[in-house]
Amino acid sequence: MITNGNAPSGAGGLGVGQERRKINPQKFMMWMAMASMSMAFAGLTSGYMVREAQGNWRYYNLSIVFWYSTAAILLSAVTMTLAVRAFKKREMPRFRALISLTLLLGVLFGVLQCTGFYQLYHQLQQVRINGQVLNESATVRVNGNPSESFLFIIAGLHLVHLLGGIIALLIVFFRAFRTRVKTYSPTGLEIVATYWHFVDILWLYLFVFFLVNQ
């Protein structure tokens, strides 16, 4: 019997094409997790606005340190993107340098965030309730006005997610400096990069939200 070499282009070929287009299950789970986390933060910021509308709401100013931390995490998004590109091109020295810089910027962001909240906790600000300036000063504390509690809870939860990203970056960092790289599959790195970009975008959203509502 003579078989046609083009036969696989039928149903079998279609099956192969569909298989190639399948989403990686690990990436799919990451996207699902990020969607869930996005809904959680959307709920928190919605609760912030609902509570603000009820009155007895203190307005405060964020320290300039938060601007510096925002610049650090945005820069880390750039270095992470470049690191993924370098890995795919197998430019390992460049990849190691960029992933190290991304990790350092992530740690710097966390340190600056903690510094910013330390300043809020210890530096006096004039009290403004519902837009009215009172003749008194107070620090911004987690157990103070509901607006202050919301700030610490929302930003604190973001720092928890940042910690998860830093742990993932540490794993990538140590693997990058192994004596021998056994595989050049970018899947794991792409998942870490996706999560890191999510953490970046999430903070940018929260920062703008707090600026608009301060």
* pLDDT: which is higher, 58 or 106: 106
Instruction: Please state the rounded mean pLDDT for residues 72-76.
Output: 97
Centroid of chain to Cα 94: 23
- pLDDT reading at 209 higher than 90: yes
Q: Which range, 15-29, 70-84, 85-99, is most confident? A: 70-84
Confidence of residue 2 (pLDDT cuts 50, 70, 90): very low
CATH number of 58-212: 1.20.120.80
Per-residue pLDDT at 179: 60
> How far apart are the C-alpha atoms of 161 and 201, rounded to whole Å?
12
Three-state SS string over the chain comes to CCCCCCHHHCHHHHHHHHHHCCCCHHHHHHHHHHHHHHHHHHHHHHHHHHHHHCCCCEECCCCCHHHHHHHHHHHHHHHHHHHHHHHHCCCHHHHHHHHHHHHHHHHHHHHHHHHHHHHHHHCCEEEEECCEEEEEEECCCCCCCHHHHHHHHHHHHHHHHHHHHHHHHHHHHHHHCCCCCCCCCCHHHHHHHHHHHHHHHHHHHHHHHHHHCC
Q: Domain segments of the chain: what residues?
A: 58-212
Work out the average pLDDT over 10-16.
Answer: 45
Task: Give pLDDT, residue 16.
Answer: 42
Q: Is pLDDT above 60 for 9?
A: no
Tokens of 23: 């989403």
Q: Could you give the CA distance from residue 70 to residue 108 in angstroms, rounded to a whole number?
A: 10
Mean pLDDT of 175-188: 75
Query: Which residue from 82, 90, 94 is spatially nearest to 181, judged by alpha carbons?
Result: 90
pLDDT at 5: 44
Predicted pLDDT of residue 10? 45
Q: How far is the first Cα of the chain from the last one, in angstroms, to the nearest whole number? A: 80
- Tokens 């340098």 sit on residue: 97
The predicted pLDDT at position 21 comes to: 61
Burial class (CB in 10 A: 0-12, 13-18, 19+), 183: exposed
pLDDT digits (tens, 9 = 90+) for 129-165: 877 778 788 888 888 899 999 999 999 999 999 999 9
